[in-house]
């Protein structure tokens, strides 16, 4: 896990930070992605969740992009709506999890 200042500095530098992971809910395995990127005058949060058995059909149970004016708002939102904290996110190498130009 990274410290909060380090993650904030990555985001402020324009890097997309995120994490892909699996979790189990009610005996069902899900894959999820969470990512944050600075965008124009605020920040965007991307979250998706999909049951493993539906990955090929891309039938996401949840896929959303949320815009907030402050990174602090996103920190709370990540903690409240996912099983992660912002400190668990890291810069993404190669392909990004979402394109902030699209909602």
φ, ψ (nearest 5 deg) of residue 77: -60, -40
Query: Is 102 part of any domain?
Result: no
The pLDDT score that the predictor gives to residue 95 is 83
Average pLDDT over residues 29-49: 96
Query: Is 101 part of any domain?
Result: no
* Residues spanned by the domain of 52: 1-91
Query: Is 75 part of any domain?
Result: yes
Query: Is 103 part of any domain?
Result: no
Query: Is 99 part of any domain?
Result: no
Number of domains in the chain: 1
Cα–Cα separations (whole angstroms), residue 55 to 26, 30, 32, 49, 59: 18, 9, 11, 10, 7
Query: Is 57 part of any domain?
Result: yes
1 pLDDT exceeds 80? no
- The number of CA neighbours under 13 Å toward the Cβ of 82 is 31
The pLDDT score that the predictor gives to residue 2 is 82
The pLDDT score that the predictor gives to residue 92 is 84
The pLDDT score that the predictor gives to residue 94 is 83
Dump pLDDT digits (tens) for 69-102. Answer: 999 999 999 999 998 999 999 998 888 999 999 8
């Amino acid at each position: 896990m990274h410290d909060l200042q380090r993650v904030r500095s990555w985001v402020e530098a324009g890097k997309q930070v995120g994490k892909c992971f699996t979790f189990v809910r009610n005996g069902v395995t899900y894959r999820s992605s969470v990512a944050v990127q600075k965008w124009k005058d605020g920040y965007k949060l991307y979250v998706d969740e999909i049951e493993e058995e539906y990955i090929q059909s891309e039938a996401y149970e949840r896929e959303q992009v949320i815009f907030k004016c402050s990174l602090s708002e996103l920190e709370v939102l990540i903690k409240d709506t996912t099983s992660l904290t912002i400190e668990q996110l890291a810069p993404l190498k190669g392909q990004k999890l979402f394109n902030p130009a699209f909602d």
